[in-house]
Amino acid sequence: MANSSNSDVIVIGAGVVGCSLAYHLAGANARVTVFDKGGICAGMSARSGALVRMHYTFAPEVELAWKSLGYFSNWGEMIGGECGFVRTGFALVVGGENTARIRRNVAMMKQIGVEVELCDAAQLRSMDHCLNIDDIALAAYEPQSGYADPVATTNSLAEAAERRQVRFRLNTQVEKTLVEGGRAAGVRMANGAEFSGGAVCIAAGPWADALLAPLGVQIGIKPERAQVAFFHRSPALSHLSYIDCISGSYFRPHGAGLTLAGLGEWRPATEPDPDNFREANDREFIEEVGRRLAHRIPALQDAPYARGHAGVYDVSPDSRAVLGKVPGIDGLFVAAGFSGTGFKTSPAVGAAMAELILKGRSSIVDISPFAFERILNRCLIRTESEYVIGTGFGHSL
């Protein structure tokens, strides 16, 4: 090979997942090089709504979110620097059609050890006086959840990784993974330069399938354009963070004077190109998400629009991440297909993937249920307590 990076592990992608993985790998004394075609946090991490909640219907995802909350809550001591975590409290609210599901999911979360309580509408209203509870049957309340700053989080992980001697090669596009004798041996750049590595992990968000395709295997990622909008809010009005399964939307405070509101895939048109998509909000999205926000928090009726943006979700066939070895190629791993929910789990995903790559199995959380084989064998993850969610939310929970 023309160049030798002498890396034990090459990570493709310097988003929140790649930076977390690099940090954890280096913590186990691996020599790591991270390649990104842009800068640190050049991809979808920068566009994240960055809601940090524990509520999922699939127990291994709850475990990843719960373990990650430990990092967000103690960032300075565990990683160093700032992640901008703000504990707002969080509630997932449902109507009558989902009450059996929310009961089962809360019971499952409690078994894992998550601090979560089932509340009726009146109990929720006593915690959040500005809430319209007319159509709420039940809520799952998490006092410890909130949101973080996705750019600060990713930069902080990258800086912590650099302190552990991780090398970042930025503005350097990987063209393909090199395979020798059935084993990943390194990467080739678009300019022809080659770098060797003992293992390679693709953490390239919605670009992951483009890197897998030349190897004859793909996750089947569907890119979906998703939008969030920020509305002005009087600092005197405070509210919790929410996933509203009734209207199919989510809201959270953003600092003292803004509220972020989001929908997932909203009136999808053609499949977006993650390198070239409309980054501004659509006018009809602003109207619709504003309407849903005002329904839940009537005091935000006519709240002025401040700003907003779109990003691209990397939606896998079952709306869950693919974490593990790429079948048929030793030493090649993938962590992608997060389907619009990969920010909050990134600290634990990086730790678990590092263990898997270096030791062959993960102990912080058993991530074997997310293995690539399930996609190839069409054994997709489905839970009995998947919510029926209003249109536009964008992914399952």
Ligand X SMILES: Cc1cc2nc3c(=O)[nH]c(=O)nc-3n(C[C@H](O)[C@H](O)[C@H](O)COP(=O)(O)OP(=O)(O)OC[C@H]3O[C@@H](n4cnc5c(N)ncnc54)[C@H](O)[C@@H]3O)c2cc1C
Binders in 263-322 for ligand X, by CB under 6 A = 311-313
| Residue whose tokens read 């919510």 | 387
Where b means 16+ CB within 10 Å and e means fewer, 127-138 reads ebeebebeebbb
Rank residues 126 and 173 by Cβ distance to ligand X and give the closer one. Answer: 173
Rank residues 198 and 205 by Cβ distance to ligand X and give the closer one. Answer: 205
When asked if residue 338 is in the footprint of ligand X (CB under 6 A), the reply is yes
**Cβ at position 274, least distance to ligand X in Å:** 8
Per CB under 6 A, the list member of 105, 145, 153, 341 interacting with ligand X is: 341
When asked if residue 69 is in the footprint of ligand X (CB under 6 A), the reply is no
**Cβ at position 250, least distance to ligand X in Å:** 7
Strand arrangement of the beta sheet that strand 305-315 belongs to? 117-120, 138-142, 90-94, 241-244, 249-254, 258-265, 222-232, 305-315
Where b means 16+ CB within 10 Å and e means fewer, 102-117 reads beebbebbeeeebebe
When asked if residue 14 is in the footprint of ligand X (CB under 6 A), the reply is yes
Rank residues 171 and 363 by Cβ distance to ligand X and give the closer one. Answer: 171
When asked if residue 394 is in the footprint of ligand X (CB under 6 A), the reply is no
Rank residues 261 and 297 by Cβ distance to ligand X and give the closer one. Answer: 261
Per CB under 6 A, the list member of 37, 55, 254, 292 interacting with ligand X is: 37
The piece of 113-121, 132-140, 281-289, 339-347 that touches ligand X (CB under 6 A) is: 339-347
Per CB under 6 A, the list member of 5, 8, 49, 241 interacting with ligand X is: 49
**Cβ at position 55, least distance to ligand X in Å:** 11
Instruction: Give the separation between CA 343 and CA 17, rounded to whole angstroms.
Output: 8
Inter-CA distances, 113 with 240, 266, 342, Å: 22, 34, 21
Rank residues 198 and 308 by Cβ distance to ligand X and give the closer one. Answer: 308
Per CB under 6 A, the list member of 223, 290, 342, 392 interacting with ligand X is: 342
Per CB under 6 A, the list member of 203, 240, 353, 389 interacting with ligand X is: 203
The piece of 38-46, 89-97, 116-124, 354-362 that touches ligand X (CB under 6 A) is: 38-46
When asked if residue 68 is in the footprint of ligand X (CB under 6 A), the reply is no
Inter-CA distances, 165 with 31, 42, 146, 393, Å: 8, 21, 32, 40
**Cβ at position 226, least distance to ligand X in Å:** 4
Site residue total, ligand X (CB under 6 A): 39
Rank residues 15 and 248 by Cβ distance to ligand X and give the closer one. Answer: 15
Binders in 343-382 for ligand X, by CB under 6 A = 343-344
When asked if residue 47 is in the footprint of ligand X (CB under 6 A), the reply is yes
**Cβ at position 150, least distance to ligand X in Å:** 6
When asked if residue 259 is in the footprint of ligand X (CB under 6 A), the reply is no
Which tokens go with 378?
Answer: 């069409």
Rank residues 5 and 120 by Cβ distance to ligand X and give the closer one. Answer: 5
Per CB under 6 A, the list member of 45, 57, 68, 396 interacting with ligand X is: 45
**Cβ at position 289, least distance to ligand X in Å:** 12
Instruction: Give the separation between CA 36 and CA 42, rounded to whole angstroms.
Output: 8
Inter-CA distances, 128 with 90, 181, 353, Å: 11, 60, 38
**Planar angle of CA 293, 277, 254, nearest 5 degrees:** 30
When asked if residue 18 is in the footprint of ligand X (CB under 6 A), the reply is yes
When asked if residue 35 is in the footprint of ligand X (CB under 6 A), the reply is yes
In the complex, which residue's CB is closest to ligand X? 15
Q: Which long-range contacts (CB under 8 A, 24 or more apart) does 63-66 make?
A: 63/112, 63/348, 63/365, 64/345, 64/348, 64/349, 64/352, 64/365, 64/367, 65/344, 65/345, 65/348, 66/112, 66/113, 66/114
Per CB under 6 A, the list member of 5, 7, 13, 22 interacting with ligand X is: 13
Using CB under 6 A, list all residues that contact ligand X.
12-18, 35-38, 42-45, 47-51, 173-174, 203-205, 207, 211, 226, 228, 311-313, 336, 338, 340-344
